Structure 1
Amino acid sequence: MIDLPLLQPASLARSASQRNHTDRGPDASLEVVLARPCTRVLLAHRGSLLVARGHLVRFAVDDSAGLTGTRIYLGKDAQDTDFIGIDLDDEARAEVDRRIAGDLDTDAEPQLEDPATGIDVSVPTWLNLRDVGLSLDDLDVGLACELVALGNWHRAHTHSPRNGLPTEVVAGGWVRREPTTGSEHFPRTDPAVIMAVVHTDPDGTERILLGNNALWPDHRFSLLAGFVEPGETLERAVIREVHEEVGVVCHSPKYLGSQPWPFPCSLMLGFVAEAESRDTDVDVEEISHARWFTREELRSELAAGTIWVPGTVSIAGQILEAWLGADR
């Protein structure tokens, strides 16, 4: 069996927050939390977060009053500070941008020594979660994933799937309820498997199979992945997806770890599996081509810049990094 260790929590899998659903107040209302003097508010808009000085920007409750969007209770930190996130609508995003611009008109000094990019900018800046997932600390990245994932769900599920009527946000942002019937609808997470498919030659040489998605540039490669189907185990999903996408028969899937991927609502479940052979029959509609790489070949091409693979912000990059380092 291919010997890869379990992945340690990294990137978007990290979290130091406590979701603390039992302490939100009567009927999970946010009113009790909003009344606490230490509560802080975080802002998101369509997958981007307001960041400055190395952290998500924290607002006092009064400073966020009047901003429209969906309010969500995110939990608390080790010092018992409660956090509420607001997934802003477009009008509120514009209002926040006006406030930031107004502050700069009043005092431009923060810009004089401001870093050009990244989370250390002193002026509050909107950055995509993909771009800051490696840089934020454990507390902020956990809160950010929670807020972005729930914001995506709320924007896509404004009406009841049962009768098409509008729903209202209840339970601290964790439930949508249809007022007429009282039916409740909960956030969805779509499980997807992502796998390192490895073949070992009789002489012990290992090769990993990487695929080029039909929508990507020719030089871009990643691990194979696919969604788990109803009534299917994770292990069967690994075997099925590999065979469907590249015609390879694999066996002995071994779980490595997981990572939220709230773009919009996935949970990536990482595996390594053994391929019976290196024969491929690629489904060109989804995967344009697939290649086997030895460790030396992959290192060489990455160093030369002839191929591109995901960075470690994603579990794909983390699994690749673990496999590349397994012979050292």
Structure 2
Amino acid sequence: MCVLTCEEPTASLPGVTYQHERLSANPHDRAGARRADDAWLEERWSDPETRVLVVSGTRVRPADGGLDWVAPADAPEGLRVLLGEHDGRAWFAVIVDAEVSKTAQGEWTPLRGLLPFLADDALAGAPLVFHALGLAEWLFVTRFCPRCGGPLSPRAAGHELACANGHVQFPRTDPAVIMIVTSGEPGAEDERCLLGRQAVWPAGRYSTLAGFCEPGETLEDAVRREVREESGVVVGDVEYFGNQPWPLPASLMLGFVGRAVSTAIEVDDHELEDARWFTRAEMRELAEAGTLLLPQGVSISRSLVEHWYGGPLPGQW
């Protein structure tokens, strides 16, 4: 496998490892069968080699260019959440009150602020952090049973919530489609891709279109519906590209490449301010000039753009 380093655009990139894949590399054993094994959990917690990520609400504390993983003896009191096993040791998160981070904002960072360096964390990679913060977000917002309104209590090492009436809640992950839409002969000089921008973004920022899958809808139809709703462009063939966990707050981003069967743009002003077709030459010229800002390198959106373009591009959020 090679890292995406080519300088000139090419029509396809077989065997390429994209930047977003680094955030899912080297996953941990989630040890699901151990979540209700109190004796095993206590044994691993007492092991000084075990590492713990302290989470305040949904924020963590960076340290020395990485995250502040501590030994259990140095962890504060809070809800212990088993993340699993990795590199011969156990990994936990301890979730403490959100007020802890509010009193020292500069020391605590939400997940979005960690993304630029998360894949290069020397001690632990992104899958453990995504696991911890995804659960922390779910626990933070899920306080009462949706069936009876009763208070919920954690069990199964933080992976379940149950009320006094026996109703059990599990963590939510919402499927979202994200897509690059193309028009023209694949690989041809005049082939174009469709990008859009929201009104709240800084000038020059464009990205791939995206949206959530609705009940009873296939992923491919979600791609077609979202593109048509936001830009007016009709999509025909849809090809799966890849996926990326995105607990911001609770999504799984499913990437696709769609082929347009119409090119007229009619922007939905509610979601997009603008949508544009870009040729590869236009995209490169604008990115080099700094007037086109593309998604950050670790996002699957960036991978979709560079997959279509055929190589890396300057300029990112």
TM-score (norm 1): 0.81
Give runs of aligned pairs for residues 75-86 of structure 1, distance below 5 A.
75-79=84-88, 81-86=89-94
Q: Which aligned runs of 4 or more in structure 1 are off by greater than 6 angstroms?
A: none
Q: CA deviation at 1:295?
A: 0.8
Instruction: Tell me the equivalent position of 1:121.
Output: none
C-alpha change, 1:231 and 1:215, in structure 2 (3 Å) is same
- 8 Å CA contact 1:76, 1:83 repeated in 2: yes
1:315 and 1:224 mapped to 2: Cα distance?
12
Question: Aligned pair 1:197/2:205, yes or no?
Answer: no
Within 1, Cα distance between the matches of 2:52 and 2:293?
38
- Closer, same or farther: CA 91–326 of 1 in aligned 2, 3 Å: closer
Q: Which residue of 2 aligns with 1:101?
A: none
Q: Which residue of 2 aligns with 1:131?
A: 113
| Structure 1 residue aligned with 2:165 | 181
TM-superposed CA distance for 1:282, in Å, is 1.3
1:312 counterpart letter in structure 2: G
The answer as to whether partners of 2:36 and 2:156 remain within 8 angstroms in 1 is no
- Give the corresponding residue for 2:59: 48
Q: Distance in 2 between matches of 1:278 and 1:28?
A: 62
Equivalence map 1:165-244=2 (5 Å): 165-178=150-163, 180-200=164-184, 204=188, 205-244=190-229
- Among all aligned residue pairs of Structure 1 and Structure 2, give the percentage whose two residues are the same amino acid: 41
Number of paired residues?
A: 297
Q: Secondary structure at the match of 1:135?
A: helix
The residue that corresponds to 2:4 in the other structure is: none
Structure 1 Cα separation of the partners of residues 202 and 312 of structure 2 = 30
Whole-angstrom distance in 2 between the partners of 1:260 and 1:216: 23
Partner residue, 1:31: 42
> CA separation of 1:4/1:271 partners in 2, compared to 1, >3 Å: closer, same or farther?
farther
**With structure 2 as the length reference, what TM-score do the two structures score?**
0.84
* Distance change in 2, residues 1:308/1:46 (3 Å): farther
- Larger mean Cα displacement after TM superposition, 315-324 or 254-263: 315-324
- Give the Å deviation of 1:15: 3.9
1:272 to 249, 254, 257: 257
Q: Considering only aligned residues, what root-mean-square deviation do their CA atoms show, in Å?
A: 2.8
Give the distance between the partners of 2:38 and 2:146, measured in 1 at CA.
24
Inter-partner Cα distance in structure 2 for 1:28 and 1:176: 21
Q: Secondary structure at the match of 1:259?
A: strand
* Structure 1 unmatched ranges of 5 or more: 98-123
Alpha-carbon distance in structure 2 between the residues aligned to 1:252 and 1:288? 26
Alignment of 1:113-128 (within 5 A): 125-128=107-110
Amino acid at match of 2:108: W
| C-alpha displacement of 1:92 | 4.0
Which residue number corresponds to residue 293 of structure 2?
A: 308
Are positions 1:299 and 2:284 aligned together? yes
CA contact (8 A) 1:260 1:267 kept: yes
In 2, the alpha carbon distance for the partners of 1:212 and 1:25 equals 46
Return the offset for 1:132. Answer: 2.9
